[in-house]
Structure formats: structure tokens, C-alpha cells
Structure 1
């Protein structure tokens, strides 16, 4: 089979024999395009003695197998085309009706190689004001060539994005989209495009987020419209969760494009933590007032760490774990103070009442919420478990203490789990273990890591749960640093 028959792309070059240099330029272009997989029809190669030049031109232009026609335009080409002179004039008589009646406007394109003294492109009258590819500036020739090869292959640099789904608020019966949607979109797009000032847009989003986390709290201790208080708390948490997931999405954008803006996520987490207690001057509240915020504080921090694990951003995880979170404690004797990451893991007491009221005897409602709402999307439920394990063992491993400050709700779902979660499975590499240990566990040795994690195996975190989780198993202590 011939090259011409095998080629997916066939293109004809129409040009003027203006000068030997111009002919050589066209030939070099044809050779390069051939090397890049385009079958080029060129008179120097294809027009043989005994051939009819007019028939050759007509066939080359109108043949449906020719997917593209390049019109190389310089001053001489324009003059001959407009004056219908020579071979160019003949091609013009064929091209003109083709261009004007064509249904596929992507078949013909002018390649401008020369401009006049005022910078105007030499294009023939029949081409009109159509868009051309500019080869007139030698310094931009590579950019022009990329544009040409993309056009020849119908592979533009900018393509229409995949059509998405109708916004959920239009089909779910909700009256309006998330109140922070506009701020979130501006911040995310700025981060993804690396726009200066993106951090300030993240900050602006954070301010709107906290307004919602406060405004969506349940109304009172007895619920509303005969809704039990535990149901009101769960409903409030469900309403808050989409806002928290926006924090996770912004974290992913920052991890991928703008790690230096991570301080803004830490600032947002501080604000999220502040919603778990009353503000100064508050005179009326119940314990259940802040339970939805406690549920969300746990999910917010856990999801940030899970997202960073998925992006393999160990340095940002270390910053999140070591950061002193500003906390204006209204009950503290000294007023303002800071908290560590463990304070994001608070128990919502109203869930005990929920167990009694529903008579379901669930061991961990907060784990159930995460399991229910993180089955799809990012971060995934498995990543959330991975983050929970990391946060649970971090203090006991790095500080040689059996005291842990983080309750790992989702690990209840690892009962009978037979293998290590990803971060810990990867630590079978001694090199990777050393990296993780240095950044997250105080640079402990593999032996110390194994001993301290194994000491946690006996922890009974949930009453009546069998089989219980095996910390050693999901942390992969048997394989830690077992390979180079």
C-alpha cells in the first residue's frame, strides 16, 4: 500500500514560484509536514512530464481525499491571484468558487509569508477577511508551525470543554445554588490559571463559607416544626457539607498549582474550628447548637489531609499538622489561645441521643456520614480512612506516648481489612519510609515506628465492635522498610 493511501491527512500546497528562496521555503515546509505525518501534494513532487497542469490543480483542490489546502501567500501570489495571471491565476479560478460555496470552512487556510510596509498581510482578494496563519515573522515561525500542524490534524490548542450536567440546584428543588458558589468559582479558576491575587480570592471564599457554617446551624434544642433535635443537627450538617467539599476542591487546586497559597486553607480551617463553640458575647445556646459544626470540622480537616495525600503533598500535610490554629476561646481563663489539629476531632453528643431515639445502636454515626457522602468524587472514602489513620497514630509515634488526640471515626470500616492503606503500603520502601518519617513522624527509625504502632493494636475504640480494627495491619508494620 502506498504512503498516500495510508496517510490519514492529505494536503495540497498552492503557492507562487516567486523566488528560488521562496520555493525552497515551501519545499522545506512540505518536507517537515511529511515528517510529521501529513501526506503533501506538491507540484515539485507530483507534477510530472506529460501531466496536464490544470487537471493537476483542479484534482488537488477539489479531490475529497484532500482534507486541507494551504494557500501560501506573499506579494507575488496576491498580484497573480488578483490579476488571474499564470498558474496562480488558474488556481484562483478553481479556489474562488470552492471557498465561497464550501460547507467545510476548515479545509482552506492562508499561510502568510510576507506583509506590506504597513504590516498588512498579502492575501488575495478571494480569501477576503478570513483568519490566516502568520509565517511573516521568522521569530514566531515555530508558533505558526504549531498552529499549522494542529489545523492540519484538527487538533486545536483550545477545545470546547465537555458538556457538564445541569446544576443540581435546578433539578433538586433547591431554591438557589450554594451561597459561596460565585466566590468559589472565582477562587478555583484563579488558582488553576495561576492568576496573581488568587490567594485573596480564597480568603474571600473563606469569609463567605463561615457565614454559611454559622447560618445553617439548627435553630434550637427542641428542633423546629417537630423535627427531633438530632435530625435537625444531621440536616444542618448535610446542608453544610457541600460548602466543606468546596474547601477540599480548593485544597486540591492549591496542591497542584499554588502550594504557596496553602496558608489560606489553614486560615479557613481556623475559622471552621471557631464555629464549634460560641462566639464571645453569646448568651443563649445549647450543646446541640454546635454539633453540626463539630461534625463538619472533623470532615473538613480530614478531607484536607486526604486530598493532600492523594496529591502526595507531604510538606503541606506537615504544615497542617504542625500549625497552631488560632482559637478565641470564650471559656478560657486567658482568653485567646491556639489549638492543634486534634481539636478538629470533636464528638457531637447529640448523636448518642440519635442512637437511643432510632434504636439503631450505630457504633459511630460520624463514620457513617463520611462513608455515605464520600463514596464518589475526591477525596474518596478510602483516602479519608488513610488520613484518619495518619492523624490517629501521628502523636503516639512521633512523641512516644500512648495518648492520641485524634479519634479516627472512619477506621471502624476497616474491620477485617487485610492490607495496608496506600501511604503505609508505600512505606515498605526504606527510602520512602525515611521521607515520610522525617516529615510526619519526627524522623523515627523503622524499628521505633513498628514498636509504637504495634502498641496501639490493643486500643478498643468502639464498644461491641467485632472484629476490631488492626492498626498494625492497616499501617503495614510487617513490611515497613523491608525493601530498598
Structure 2
């Protein structure tokens, strides 16, 4: 079912490098062009922000959270960096883990791991289940290159199950009577059993 209103989507990523920030910015611009209401920190720099409360409020109100895979994102989300590094992402990842713990069925459908060009599935944090749950590989910033992700964000699955059809009429099988004129007689002898079929052949089964 196509979503009536533009989905509100929070983008969670690390500032690995200027190039990575630009890539995430270009990706976000592409999604906005597809009528996706993107929440990206780079578009909220006009005023001084309390980024922790900003993230808490926007993640809570989002329909989806995109976690952008990178080596730095994985290490920060898994606590493999110092407490001084990527503080914002460490706080966001902690919040996402908390949400999953509180209501896993809901947040499993809202948190979408995304792999952009040049990155690998192995860069998805382990708590987001890179191998045992869905992730979304974007090959290029086009509708075709991001189709699997766009289908989820816009509520347009690739296949729709048809309506239930009519139950087939399957009457019970009737037993088939033996052909007439073929009476079987068992004759026991010391050498075995002879099946004599009138009108047919004789079979001898030796012991």
C-alpha cells in the first residue's frame, strides 16, 4: 500500500571524512527528490543545537531510521572507539539499541541498514543483524539503484499476494471393484502357494 504522506526519515551516520559526509548529503538530496522527508544534521546548522535531544526527538518521530554503514559507524556503534570519538553516533546507537530492546518487532521494521556505493555489508553493526535480517544496498543514486530501499520507504512491495481464490471441488475417491470373471484361488502345497486366476495365468511362489 503506497504511503499517503511523505515518510519522515532520520539519517544516522558518522562523519568519517569530508568525502563520506558529501556522499551522505548527495544521497539525502536524492531521497528528498523522491518525496522522502529526510532529517539530516547538515540541514539543521542555522542555530545552536543540543544534538542529543535533537536526535532523541527526531528518531522518536521518524517513520524510519536509515543507518548508513561505514567502518567508523560499525566501530562507534559497537563501542570500539574511545569515549571522545564520534560521541553523537555513540549516543544515537545507544538510543537505537534501547528502542530495539523496548519494542523489537516495531523497531526492526523502522531501522533500515543502508550500504552506499563503496561500502560493504560487513560495515553494518552486529546489533542490526547484517546477515540474519534485511539490509539495503544502494548501487547508485537513481530509482533503479535504490529500488529495494525506496519500495520499503514508500510502501510499494515488489510482489503482492493475490486474493484468495475458490476452494476446488474435490469429491472423495470411490473404490474400484475387481473385474468380473477373474476369481483368484489360493492353493497351498508343500512346495509353496499357487495363485490360480480363472481366465488368466497361474503364478507359483516357492518357499
TM-score between both structures, scaled by the size of structure 2: 0.68
Q: Which runs of 4+ in 1 moved over 6 A?
A: none
Question: Which residue of 43, 54, 57 maps to 2:55?
Answer: 57
- Structure 2 contact 11–65 (Cα < 8 Å) conserved: yes
> Residues 159 and 46 (structure 1 numbering): CA distance in 2 closer, same or farther, change over 3 Å?
farther
- Structure 1 contact 99–108 (Cα < 8 Å) conserved: no
Take 1:144 and 1:125, find their aligned partners in 2: how far apart are those partners?
A: 25
Residue 43 of structure 1 corresponds to 41
Take 1:93 and 1:57, find their aligned partners in 2: how far apart are those partners?
A: 11
1:45, distance to aligned residue in structure 2 (A) = 0.9
Question: Which residue of 22, 41, 49 maps to 1:24?
Answer: 22
1:62, distance to aligned residue in structure 2 (A) = 1.5
Take 2:128 and 2:45, find their aligned partners in 1: how far apart are those partners?
A: 25
Residue 122 of structure 2 corresponds to 121
1:74, distance to aligned residue in structure 2 (A) = 0.8
Residue 69 of structure 1 corresponds to 65
More helix by share: 1
> Residues 48 and 93 (structure 1 numbering): CA distance in 2 closer, same or farther, change over 3 Å?
farther
> Residues 148 and 164 (structure 1 numbering): CA distance in 2 closer, same or farther, change over 3 Å?
same
> Counterparts in 2 of 1:82-231, with a 5 A limit?
82-83=78-79, 85-100=86-101, 101-104=103-106, 105-113=108-116, 114-115=119-120, 121-128=122-129, 129-135=132-138, 143-167=144-168, 169-170=169-170, 174-175=171-172
* Higher RCO (CA < 8 A, seq sep 6+): 2
Take 1:21 and 1:12, find their aligned partners in 2: how far apart are those partners?
A: 20
1:49, distance to aligned residue in structure 2 (A) = 2.5
- Structure 2 contact 12–65 (Cα < 8 Å) conserved: yes
1:158, distance to aligned residue in structure 2 (A) = 1.9
More strand by share: 2
- Structure 2 contact 137–146 (Cα < 8 Å) conserved: no
Take 2:45 and 2:104, find their aligned partners in 1: how far apart are those partners?
A: 26
Matched positions, count = 159
1:102, distance to aligned residue in structure 2 (A) = 3.1
1:162, distance to aligned residue in structure 2 (A) = 2.1
> Residues 90 and 9 (structure 1 numbering): CA distance in 2 closer, same or farther, change over 3 Å?
same
TM-score between both structures, scaled by the size of structure 1: 0.31
- Structure 2 contact 8–39 (Cα < 8 Å) conserved: yes
Unaligned runs of 5+ residues in structure 1 are 1-5, 177-484
1:53, distance to aligned residue in structure 2 (A) = 0.1
- Structure 1 contact 13–42 (Cα < 8 Å) conserved: yes
- Structure 1 contact 7–38 (Cα < 8 Å) conserved: no
Take 1:78 and 1:57, find their aligned partners in 2: how far apart are those partners?
A: 18
Q: Secondary structure at the residue paired with 1:12? A: strand
Unaligned runs of 5+ residues in structure 2 are 174-207
Superposition CA RMSD, Å: 2.4
1:142, distance to aligned residue in structure 2 (A) = 5.5
- Structure 2 contact 112–135 (Cα < 8 Å) conserved: yes
> Counterparts in 2 of 1:247-326, with a 5 A limit?
none
Take 1:94 and 1:107, find their aligned partners in 2: how far apart are those partners?
A: 13
